[in-house]
Chains A and B, each alone.
Chain A
């Protein structure tokens, strides 16, 4: 005997395009590499956070020519299941991000902040200074 119950699920929007921190940060890492001609690159390191299935995203600037020196610019902490709200942590400051739009705005502010520009400029200058004319 077969029992057929009606489908109780609503229709789901499969074409949803909510972009999480990892996608956005990876794109921004690629823009940094392009903008510095790969003198500087950035890694997005994802690791578990807390005991409830949360995730931590670390945005690391990498200077290959400084023996692969890595500088963590900021971190994002995401709770279980949902991308947003998430927690954005830079230097000693920490604040809540409620949506993709807020994250983009925050990143724009961080990237054009005088302190960040100073760090990037310094890493570029040191990478150039550290370039050796080795004889093979």
Chain B
């Protein structure tokens, strides 16, 4: 088994170089995906490598402004697959000689202050169809989709079979697909349902928003990771966390809400234990 530790963080255009590096070092992160980033690549690289030379600059082929990717692996092992800014994702393969290949999508869907939930759901459907196409092209189903979906796990755009079709039960997801009106729909497993609410969790979500509307969730889990059924057994469930600290200082303010001095989103980390070939 080879463990791969992932970090996703929407940094809200704050230059959180120290905080990203702290999280990476504290949690031994291998793959860093950033949305809403406003940072200098070299500055982040030098901070990440302040005590080592573990991390590499993003592959120069990645042109996406939406998702920035830093990894501990040289560009020989990180193969860009698609970089579709208009579709709001970047996709790459992690391809080592001795472990199973992995297809990674970093996504950032439109924000829900300027877009109705149904519009975000439509974007989700478009991205989900592209994911399916790219899986076919690459002949790979070891897929993870991680990012800021601007939807909660229970939103239609996450659950709809014509969209991500991401459900909360890993045993059902392991059945791989289901038929609806004579059409087969592949599942994603969405473990993030378990992180919505405060029982057993350090925080009740990844993003807090409160207004005077009658319906308001307060805490949202917009930052999510989805896994295809083939990766469920590789996913270390206990590793899934929304971080309230960068390892040195709290990312929360008084009252336990995200401190906007850093980001209005909290970072998401998780581990995959990949099979050796």
A residues touching B (Cβ–Cβ < 8 Å)?
A: 33-39, 41, 64-68, 127-128, 131-136
Contact = CB atoms under 8 A, between A and B. Distances in A.
Interface string B58-87: 111100111110000011000000000000
Contacts of B68: 134, 136
Interface stretch (B33-41, B128-136, B263-271): B33-41
Contacts of A136: 13, 34-38, 64-68, 108
Nearest to A34: B53
B53 A64 contact: no
Contacts of A38: 45, 49, 53, 55-57
B46 interface: yes
In order of increasing CB-CB distance, the 6 nearest A-B pairs are A131-B42, A37-B49, A64-B57, A68-B60, A34-B53, A136-B37
18 contacts: A33-B53, A34-B53, A37-B49, A38-B55, A39-B57, A64-B59, A65-B41, A65-B60, A66-B60, A128-B42, A131-B40, A135-B38, A136-B13, A136-B34, A136-B35, A136-B36, A136-B38, A136-B66
A11 B41 CA distance: 56
B198 interface: no
A136 B35 CA distance: 6
B43 interface: yes
A67 B75 CA distance: 12
Contacts, number: 68
Contact of B56 (A34, A35, A64, A132): A64
A38 B15 CA distance: 21
B42 A41 contact: no
Contacts of A68: 60-61, 75
Given A136-B66, A136-B68, A67 B60 contact: yes
B54 to A, nearest CB: 8
Nearest to A67: B60
A37 B53 contact: yes
Contacts of A133: 15, 38-40
B37 A134 contact: yes
Contact of B13 (A41, A67, A132, A135): A135
B64 to A, nearest CB: 8
Contacts of B60: 64-68
